[in-house]
Amino acid sequence: MAFSSPISPSYSSHLSSKHVKANKTKFSTINKINSFPLIQRSPFLKVDFSSQWERGKSSKFSINAAVTSKEYSLDGALENTQLPKGDCWSVHKFGGTCVGTPERIGNVAEIITADQSERKLVVVSAMSKVTDMMYDLIYKAQSRDDSYITALDAVREKHKLAAVDLLDGDDLASFLSKLQDDVNNLKSMLRAIYIAGHATESFSDFVVGHGELWSAHLLSSAVRKNGVDCKWMDTREVLVVNPTSSNQVDPDYLMSEERLEKWYSKNPSKTIIATGFIATTPQNIPTTLKRDGSDFSAAIMGALLKAHQVTIWTDVDGVYSADPRKVSEAVILKTLSYQEAWEMSYFGANVLHPRTIVPVMQYDIPIVIKNIFNLSAPGTMICRSSGNEYEDGQKLESLVKGFATIDNVALVNVEGTGMAGVPGTASAIFSAVKDVGANVIMISQASSEHSVCFAVPEKEVKAVADVLESRFGQALSAGRLSQIAVIPNCSILAAVGQRMASTPGVSATLFTALAKANINIRAIAQGCTEYNITVVVKREDCVRALRAVHSKFYLSRTIIAVGIVGPGLIGGTLLDQLKDQTAVLKEKFNIDLRVMGITGTRTMLLSESGIDLSRWRQLLSVKGEMADMNKFVHHVRGNHFIPNTVMVDCTADSDVASHYFGWLHRGIHVVTPNKKANSGPLDQYLKLRALQRQSYTHYFYEATVGAGLPIISTLRGLLETGDKILRIEGIFSGTLSYIFNNFTGSRAFSQVVKEAKEAGYTEPDPRDDLSGTDVARKVIILARESGLELELSDIPVQSLVPEPLRSSASPEEFMQQLPQFDQQLAAQRQEAENTGEVLRYVGVVDVVSGKGTVELQKYSKEHPFAQLSGSDNIIAFTTERYAKQPLIVRGPGAGAEVTAGGVFSDILRLASYLGAPS
């Protein structure tokens, strides 16, 4: 059995000399017959197998090589044209997606034709999916799966259809003939692999490389069809690489340069279409450039030609600041330094393989990433950093250029007191890891040398742990090492930026952003170059962490998942306010508030992407499900693409308030007008506040005291700036403010209460307002904010509900009987009027004496408390700074609109703390 397959002329040097000599006469005859340049014709490799292979016996086979010259002048003499180098050359690389269909190959040909560069070298990959198909052929053949034959026919058909679509005439006939010859040769070689049940690496590389040969041939023919003279290059004749032990190759630039000059002397052209991915060893054995080999090919060719630019054409607009599939606000980076691109690609960003950057760095050749499907996009330029931080007086880009992640890693922690000060411990650890072929992605060592931790791919961690336990078994038994621990299910997040170096605060900003998103960091590493900061987090937190840090550095939208508890009067009004402001917040303030869930006592509505607030009432009614608080909270917080979550409790329910501690503990922020948590049992309040202060989780409750008025924030501002609170006194109830502002002249108290109820100022049961309990809760909140540790029971409250009516069966019955008790309050009013005073229902916090009261008091008509109208609240702060003239806050203190507005304000304050621009 015999078959032939194309191979480079240079391969002959390692073959039997007698075979070469035997064929010299034949080639001389061929060259004399051809009076025109040969169409890109490869030499042939001939492998003869004895019939013993068919009988299953081992046998030797010989490889014969025949060398044909590629291009000759009419008299058969070589054209000795010197290869020009420098800025006249531009190098383009088109990946498999770019040449995936005949139409796309035609588009590539047009781009090449339109390039105004004096000289062009184009590196092309195999058509989309072809490389995988070729590897599958080898797998099937060595697995003795007969379907490799039909699979190869499918590969041939793919290229045949592309050629028929693209070419015509002699170009088409030439390609189809060459394609069929190659397929026949491959079938013979795959048959040999099928029989042997094994394929060597060089045989595999040889088979796989045909995808690039065919696409280069197709593209060169398409370019010629556009009227541009070009040649195509089998880069196995030019690129020489030395395989290394790490499944990589090192280019031999000197030998490659010599071969390139020799190739060009025979094939002078201003446009060259070259195969990517494939090369040869110094021993002329076919090989590949391994991962991202076509990009590497382009960079090497750019360096050999000293080109002015290497353009990598792909299917994205450029390099993003983060994976756009995980961070929708990721931006295209205009420029990257070589070092930044190197770092980002190492950590898995879709940029370039790190080795691609090396060849061009030494000649300062920029690499441009362009989108073949969006020619108007400027792309990203990778070049030497200019060092200019500002352009037109403004910062060019963020200190951190980009963020990248690596998933599915595990941490290995080797710990023990016996490691400290012992030379060679780290060497022994990583020597053992090397022995099992594991890839160490990141290393972190405590300065005390007490522990060393490092990250490896999760699929390799068991082998690493086993070899370490075996190698250090004696040290573990003796106690010199305390443990070798594996922490699975981790991800690595890297922040990369050349301007990070020597800039204070970058690490602090990064870690603060992670802390505010409630992300726990398992390990940290930062090189002395400061080009990257690497952290290890739980895999489940990786996307939230990525979004949190990207938002902080790029001021992209601060996205907050919102859960609304209690869609009643206040909650419903808040939802309507959110609906009206959502678009404005996104456009002007980069705040994206997504209501992921709404729950009442019986029904809840959940959404994966955010509820349509224009019809939330209808959706809650039609699509609502049975309320379940645990399920509700898990859903709202469960979207890993949203780093921050807030629960907004718009109820007055103590049971809902009891969840606050658990929510804060899980990293869920809380905003509420519900007074029950802060006025409840003192020990629970202190525990809640201690947790909130110790974490980066926020708890905002401005609306618990003054609805939309800044009462809590004013008090905190005074305390935080060193002022001392002496007394807080105020009218805290909008309902009671309205009643006593209108309880004048001859009007009966019951009549005014009835008006207030009909106007919607009171609770459904007016006794809830008249009892003074609500005011007492506000007083206890302010007392605790001022540092007093008081229980609600410590506050004496004067109730305005007559004793006999406190047990009335219904609000209606209460209102019917209230007029019977008007006389008592009428007498008090008359007494006040006789002395030029008015009645006001107030709450008082006397910080000096450590007491609080809620009662009806008299004030002169000149007093600010007597000047109120409507349902206004007023609070006076008497402090050491404001001793003579109290600091007064006044405004509407009741109503769904202002209370919901106060809650909304707290949500926006939370967004500001989480990174939104203020």
Separation of alpha carbons 374 and 95, rounded Å? 15
Separation of alpha carbons 132 and 160, rounded Å? 18
Residue carrying structure tokens 């522990």: 451
- What residue type is assigned to position 343 of the chain? E
Residues in the chain: 918
Q: How many beta carbons lie within 10 A of that of residue 254, not counting itself?
A: 9
Within 8 A by CB and 6+ apart from 677, the residues are 657, 658, 660, 684, 685, 688, 701
- Find the angle CA(172)-CA(39)-CA(105) to the nearest 5 degrees: 45
In the residue annotation, 754 being an active-site residue is answered as no
Distance between the two ends of the chain, CA-based, in angstroms?
79
Distances (CA, A) of 49 to 22, 188, 303, 456, 858: 19, 10, 42, 45, 116
Q: Pairing mode, if any, of strands 521-526 and 532-538? A: antiparallel
Separation of alpha carbons 84 and 90, rounded Å? 12
| Neighbouring-strand partners of residue 63 | 47
Separation of alpha carbons 412 and 350, rounded Å? 27
Within 8 A by CB and 6+ apart from 139, the residues are none
Token output for 753? 């209460």
- What residue type is assigned to position 335 of the chain? T
Q: What are phi and psi of 357, to 5 degrees?
A: -80, -30
Residue of 217, 222, 246, 247 lying closest to 232 (CA atoms): 217
Token output for 315? 């299917």
Distances (CA, A) of 324 to 12, 329, 358, 360: 49, 7, 27, 27
Token output for 869? 């109208």
Active-site annotation holder among 462, 778, 851, 861: 778
Within 8 A by CB and 6+ apart from 732, the residues are 705, 706, 774, 775, 778, 779, 842, 843, 873, 875, 893
Helix (H) or strand (E) holding 656: helix 654-657
Separation of alpha carbons 333 and 323, rounded Å? 12
Burial 396-415, CB ≥16 within 10 A → b, else e: ebbbbbbbbbbeebbbbbbb
Within 8 A by CB and 6+ apart from 208, the residues are 131, 134, 135, 138, 288
With contact defined as beta carbons under 8 Å apart, do 648 and 564 qualify?
yes
Separation of alpha carbons 581 and 579, rounded Å? 6
Residues marked active site are found at 778
